[in-house]
Structure 1
Amino acid sequence: MLEAFGQTELPNLKTENIGRANPLIEVRDLVKRYGSRSAVDHLSFTVEKGQVYGFLGPNGAGKSTTMNIMTGYLGATEGEVIINGHNILEEPEAAKKCIGYLPEQPPLYLDMTVDEYLQFAAELKGIAKSERAQQVERAVSMTHLEDVTGRLIKNLSKGYRQRVGLAQAVLGFPEILILDEPTVGLDPQQIIEIRDLIRELSEEHTIILSSHILSEVQEVCDQVLIIHHGRLLVSDSPENLEKHMRRAGAIEATVRGELYTVEQAVSSVDGIEHYDIAPAAGQDGCISLTIEAKEGFDVRESLFYACAEARTPIIMLKTTNFSLEEIFLELTQQADATPETDAVSADGTAEAADEPEQPTDESEGGAQ
């Protein structure tokens, strides 16, 4: 798709946000290998205070592995993670106090009531006994769980269980919330409710959420990081991504006239990178055009005058923009087609970096 525009990648998109002053989180050249497979492959990025970051990638891209390393659940093979100035491995207690973590499978005790579980989670987090009731009440209020605090977790819907997991994450009011696939397995109404809740939480927390759902990232995030095979492909704001989509968009037109005459008119227009021309299907005497302009050129007005001068009137003209989904698919397909973006095994051969499954059991576990 992008190759048709004379480019192999999106122009001027940031691939790393390194070098900013005092980032809240720094991920530096992170590598995680499982035997010969690399789930995370020299990944670097920073997270700024007060924003929502969307960690976007297909299943097996390395999102969960990266989040597990960032929260101290896994150790890295190489590289380091700095949380608010604290190295997650060298100063784990100080770093983890800054983090509230919701894994893809919330670590819930199903035979506890919501209140019992949150009291237990508050104790695990080291919240003083005199403050626990107030902290739990605040977390319950923030996640809208007031009506179910006395109910057993096993009797709650998936959406409410996810809220309980979020309440556990916000206990102690950590500066950073890390949410791994927070809407996975939810029905459409539950997804909307959790998205709204994330927006509310973002007013007081810096949030990193992972997802393979493009619309989710586009709707709630200030920054989008696209990873594939454990490598960062793009890091930019949704607005900048949209801007580049528009810049890369094509022009479609239907022109009345002979093919040769229309082609002569089109070829005289400055700023056209490439065009396709053919008789318009189902429209006698009309020609169909698809035009890709060079970066920085808007050729619509010049095209109009060229066709008018050739007495070949334009009867339809529209611009087409790439959707975020198309950009995402294009970037990941390019990564698949480029050997150096694949994980390199110990014997030097390239192989896909599938993300190993982590054993989970939602009936057991604690709150981090």
Structure 2
Amino acid sequence: MAALIEIERLSKRFGAFTAVDDVSFTVDRGEVVGFLGPNGAGKSTTMKMLAGFVTPSAGTARICGKDVVEDPVAAKRSLGYLPEGAPTYPEMTVTAFLGFVARIRGYRGAEAADRVAHAMGLTQLEGVRLQPIETLSKGFKRRVGLAQALLHDPPVLVLDEPTDGLDPNQKHEVRELIRRMAPEKAIVISTHILEEVGAVCTRAIIIARGRVLADSTPAALEAPGRTLEQVFRDLTMAREAA
């Protein structure tokens, strides 16, 4: 069976600058991949290409076998995407915004209402469901973004800093949610929090200057006497010096 996420020799150039350089990896159902790298490493650009928001300069990305450039609508049906910043309509209430997302996804009537209620339950938003999004804290806004990504129960999740702005209890709740969903989905999490990789990820991919430096389990990368943080720092420094 083909992997749910397939990235083959993906590259993105902005003029003379290469943001992503010949990146390849796959993600199977049941895998949670932590995508690590310093600022400007190419993490968000890679995820935007996978989500169909940025067109690759070269290479291919597929979601559930659907090419994100050649068949973008079909690819996005199988994708839940939480971008950096999770843009919303700030004047809308949480319920109204998620209802809007449900309609875009093709749900109507009772089914749409059920999807909204379920997504709010997963992300614990019921207490703020009637508040305008602009009045929410950063953590609650992040949870609204996560709720829209989960609303249609997609087999693939691409999450850019999913716990950004959350307090310790909220981070724990989101990590528990990811663990519960993991067996049925392929999940990629961009994060700079190494603790998060050890907590929820089955693989860690380290990227710097647009190129993959390592792809293994967090435990294997740590190695005897070296933490994941040390491995990450050493690999990144070596790449920066090259």
- Which TM-score applies when normalising by structure 2? 0.94
Match of 1:169 in 2: 149
**Residues 1-368 of structure 1 mapped to structure 2, 5 A cutoff:** 22-242=2-222, 245-246=223-224, 321-338=225-242
* Paired residues of 1:104 and 1:184 also in contact (CA < 8 A): no
Q: SS at 1:39's partner residue? A: strand
Structure 2 counterpart SS, 1:201: helix
Following superposition, the deviation at residue 199 of structure 1 comes to 2.6
Q: Distance in 1 between matches of 2:120 and 2:24?
A: 35
Aligned length: 242
Give identity over the alignment, percent.
48
Kept after mapping to 2: 8 A contact 1:181/1:209: yes
2:237 counterpart letter in structure 1: Q
Residue number in structure 2 paired with 1:253: none
Whose helix fraction is larger, Structure 1's or Structure 2's? 2
* TM-fit CA distance, 1:77: 0.3
CA distance in 2, matches of 1:195, 1:55: 15
Higher relative contact order, structure no. (Cα contacts within 8 Å, ≥ 6 residues apart): 2
TM-score, length of structure 1 as denominator length = 0.63
Instruction: Give the superposition deviation at 1:232.
Output: 0.6
Runs of at least 5 residues in structure 1 that lack an aligned partner in the other structure: 1-20, 247-320, 339-368
Q: Is the 8 A contact 2:37 2:208 kept in 1?
A: yes
Distance in 2, matches of 1:130 and 1:145, equals 19
- Residue 112 (structure 1) shift: 1.1
Change (3 A) 1:43 1:102: same
**8 Å CA contact retained: 2:5, 2:156:** no
Secondary structure, counterpart of 1:40 in structure 2: strand
Deviation at 1:203, TM superposition (A): 4.7
Provide the C-alpha distance between the structure 2 equivalents of 1:151 and 1:48, rounded to a whole number of angstroms.
38
What is the CA-CA distance between 1:197 and the residue it aligns to?
Answer: 3.2
TM-align CA RMSD = 1.5
Larger-Rg structure: 1
Please state whether the residue corresponding to 2:90 is helix, strand or coil: coil
Give CA-to-partner distance per residue, 1:92-121, whole Å, 9 cap, x none. 111100100001111211111110010001
Counterpart code for 2:229: E
Displacement after TM superposition at 1:127 (Å): 2.4
Aligned match of 1:4: none
Unaligned runs of 5+ in 2: none
Q: Which AA in structure 1 matches 2:232?
A: F
Q: Which amino acid aligns with 2:130?
A: G
In the TM superposition, residue 185 of structure 1 has moved relative to its aligned partner by 3.5
Which deviations, in whole Å up to 9, do the C-alpha atoms of 1:205-240 show, x marking residues without a partner? 321110112111121101111111111111111122
CA contact (8 A) 2:3 2:27 kept: yes
- Runs of 4+ with >6 A deviation: none
Contact conserved, 1:142 with 1:201, CA < 8 A, in 2? no
Aligned to 1:275: none
Paired amino acid for 2:235? L
